[in-house]
Amino acid sequence: MKIQITQGVGIGPTQLAAFDKALNEAGVANFNLIYLSSVVPPSSKIITTKKPSFEGEWGDKLYVVSAQQRTSKRHEEAWAGIGWVQDPKTGKGLFVEHEGHTKAEVVGNINASLSALAKHRKTKFGSINMKVVGTKCQDQPVCALVIAVFESEPWKN
């Protein structure tokens, strides 16, 4: 399985509009997002990309792990990030997602969470990887988004 990690930053008249703009920037706006827990299946390849490439039509289900932070407070920052570890031999692994108001907060929480989660498993994971994005609210609400796209699925008739 190929899991694609992408990001988006949005600005809009409301926090929801900013979130939608971030989804558009990430290339996943026209799907129904199905949120997954943070387990990476064996034989997975995780890649970061500006625009994910996958099959799917308007309104299809899209399986994702997602981190998003919104704010409408002037001069406040919004940061989101996804971190991951994988067993180099099997490809199985773990995702964690964190949000906050500083990059340091998000990076620190990703490192702490992945270290703790990996410690409780009988697997030798490789190094911690992460994708973190942020923005600052000026005049309108903002949203920072990082999303791991697993796959899409059409609805059954």
Q: Where are the chain's structural domains?
A: 2-153
105: which DSSP letter? H
The residue-averaged pLDDT of 142-153 equals: 97
Highest mean pLDDT among 37-41, 118-122, 131-135: 131-135
pLDDT of residue 136: 98
Residue 5, pLDDT above cutoff 80 = yes
Q: How many Å apart are CA 40 and CA 33, to the nearest integer? A: 17
DSSP lists the bridge partners of residue 61 as 32, 153
Give the pLDDT confidence of 48-87 residue by residue, as tens digits: 999 899 889 999 999 999 999 999 999 999 999 999 999 9
* pLDDT band for position 157 (cuts 50, 70, 90): confident
Q: How many Å apart are CA 20 and CA 141, to the nearest integer? A: 12
**Look-up: residue for tokens 């704010």?**
71
Provide the CA 14 distance to its chain's centre, in angstroms.
21
Domain 2-153: what homologous superfamily?
Pyruvoyl-Dependent Histidine Decarboxylase, subunit B (3.50.20.10)
Pairing state between β 142-153 and 39-40 = unpaired
Residue 122, pLDDT above cutoff 90 = no
103 exposure class (CB count in 10 Å sphere: 0-12, 13-18, 19+) = middle
Percent of the chain at pLDDT > 90 equals 94
pTM of the model: 0.94
Q: How many Å apart are CA 11 and CA 56, to the nearest integer? A: 26
Name residues whose C-beta falls within 8 Å of residue 68's C-beta, 6 or more positions apart in sequence. Answer: 19, 22, 80, 99, 143, 144, 145, 146
C-alpha R_g of the chain: 16
